[in-house]
């Protein structure tokens, strides 16, 4: 079997698996368990699996483009880089969420303080309401 070739059986299994995965992601979006922005990422990923399963020669071309002789190594490299990129993206999303959470906590603390302060009049040195 030449490099980059697959049996028809393997192709069908892989494509079927990818399509099921895409359907599952769509279902998660439909139930509002996954937001569109992240779902898109996964759908694109699985769509690429479909493409490479349908046209195994494509992997050989990609490998040649990357200057890698063995397409299996190209697959390994692409998978590794994509995984790292995804993790960085998740870290960014997590940082943003953390910042939002902190901001909400601060606003909550200030709101509660202002409500309590206004409910119980204090010394005349109290600042005027803005």
User: Binding other proteins by CB under 8 A: which of 64, 82, 97, 108?
Assistant: 108
- DSSP track, 21-34: HHHHHHHHHHTTSS
| Of residues 5 and 104, the one with the C-beta less far from other proteins | 104
How far apart are CB 83 and other proteins at their closest, in Å? 24
The candidate with the shortest Cα–Cα distance to 59, out of 43, 76, 45, is 76
Q: Which stretch binds other proteins (CB under 8 A): 24-32, 37-45, 46-54, 98-106?
A: 98-106
125 binds other proteins (CB under 8 A): yes
DSSP letter for 4, please: T
| Of residues 10 and 111, the one with the C-beta less far from other proteins | 111
Residue 91, C-beta contacts closer than 8 angstroms, at least 6 positions apart: none
121 binds other proteins (CB under 8 A): no
Cα–Cα distance for residue pair 69/83, rounded to 1 Å:
22
91 binds other proteins (CB under 8 A): no
| Of residues 36 and 116, the one with the C-beta less far from other proteins | 116
How far the first Cα of the chain sits from its last, in Å, is 78
Are the C-beta atoms of residues 39 and 28 closer than 8 Å to each other? yes
Q: Give me the residues that bind other proteins (CB under 8 A), please.
A: 102, 105-106, 108-110, 112-113, 117, 125-130
């Amino acid at each position: 079997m030449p490099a980059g070739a697959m049996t028809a059986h393997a192709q069908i299994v892989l494509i079927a698996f990818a399509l099921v995965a895409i359907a599952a992601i769509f279902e998660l979006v439909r139930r509002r368990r996954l937001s569109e922005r992240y779902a898109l990422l996964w759908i694109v990923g699985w769509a690429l699996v479909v493409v490479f399963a349908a046209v195994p020669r494509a992997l050989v071309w990609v490998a040649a483009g990357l200057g890698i002789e063995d397409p299996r190594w190209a697959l390994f490299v692409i998978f590794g880089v994509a995984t790292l990129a995804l993790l960085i993206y998740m870290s960014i999303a997590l940082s943003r969420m953390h910042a939002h959470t902190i901001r909400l906590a601060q606003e909550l603390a200030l709101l509660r303080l202002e409500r309590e302060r206004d409910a119980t009049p204090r010394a005349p040195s109290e600042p005027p309401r803005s």
